[in-house]
Amino acid sequence: MMHWLRHGTGGVMMNEMISTLVFYVLAMVILGTALGVVMSRNLVHSALLMTACFIGVGMLFFYLDADFLGAMEFMLYSGGVAILVVMGVMLTKRHDGPPGNPFNNNTLLALGGAGLFVIIMIGVVISTTTPAGGYVSPDTVNELADMMLNKYILPFEIAATLLLAALVGAIILAKGDGEA
């Protein structure tokens, strides 16, 4: 078993098999938890499954050699966004018992739209060929920082302004006009 991993084509095949297996497990985790978010009857369960889905997406980023983005996904999405959403669930609870998560009357229409989108995308992905290649950075943090502070300094500053505006806007919205 071990000499398979170390020598020749057998090791390469073994690595490829493990890589494929990891991708499919990640895909199952992501899609399963995403379906759980939509189908769950309890909004708190939806929020928890959404956190699990974000963790799956972060692991997929690690799998795709984007370590900095994976760490960011863990911190921002499965940390910050999850807490914000759970706070939103708590603040907008109307009665005792678990907060419900009902469907509206557009279920069939929404199902049709989403299904159509998947079918079109499968057709597009199968019928197009992209040039093979790829780029793996040995040090994503350094390279991203270099790009962000040299070539892409303007979007960086605009994103900073957007964050400030969103922060002030969220505070003003949540505070209301009545209370000074």
Partner 1 sequence: MSIGLGHCLLLAAMLFSIGLYGALAKRNIIAVLMGIELMLNAVNINFVAFNRFTPVSDLTGQLMTVFAITVGVAEVAIGVALAYRIYNDRLTINVDELDNMKG
Closest approach of partner 1 to the CB of residue 46, in Å: 6
Crossing angle for the helix pair 8-39 and 43-63, to the nearest 10 degrees: 160
Closest approach of partner 1 to the CB of residue 96, in Å: 16
Is residue 95 involved in binding partner 1 (CB under 8 A)?
Answer: no
Is residue 61 involved in binding partner 1 (CB under 8 A)?
Answer: yes
Provide the residue type at 57 as one letter. Answer: V
Is residue 154 involved in binding partner 1 (CB under 8 A)?
Answer: no
Phi, psi of 128 (to 5 degrees): -110, 150
Is residue 123 involved in binding partner 1 (CB under 8 A)?
Answer: no
Select the residue interacting with partner 1 from 5, 41, 98, 106 (CB under 8 A). Answer: 106
Is residue 74 involved in binding partner 1 (CB under 8 A)?
Answer: no
Is residue 114 involved in binding partner 1 (CB under 8 A)?
Answer: yes
| Residue closer to partner 1, measured from CB, 7 or 151 | 151
For 180, the 3-state DSSP assignment is coil
Closest approach of partner 1 to the CB of residue 180, in Å: 16
Is residue 27 involved in binding partner 1 (CB under 8 A)?
Answer: yes
Q: Which residue do the tokens 């939806």 mark?
A: 46
Separation of alpha carbons 31 and 24, rounded Å: 10
Is residue 78 involved in binding partner 1 (CB under 8 A)?
Answer: no
Task: Check if the beta carbon of residue 59 is closer than 8 Å to that of residue 22.
Answer: no
Provide the residue type at 177 as one letter. Answer: D
Separation of alpha carbons 59 and 81, rounded Å: 17
Is residue 91 involved in binding partner 1 (CB under 8 A)?
Answer: yes
Is residue 81 involved in binding partner 1 (CB under 8 A)?
Answer: yes
- Least Cα distance to 98 among 38, 40, 43 occurs for 43
Is residue 176 involved in binding partner 1 (CB under 8 A)?
Answer: yes
Within 8 A by CB and 6+ apart from 81, the residues are: 54
Task: Check if the beta carbon of residue 4 is closer than 8 Å to that of residue 15.
Answer: no
Select the residue interacting with partner 1 from 5, 18, 109, 149 (CB under 8 A). Answer: 109
Select the residue interacting with partner 1 from 9, 134, 138, 180 (CB under 8 A). Answer: 134
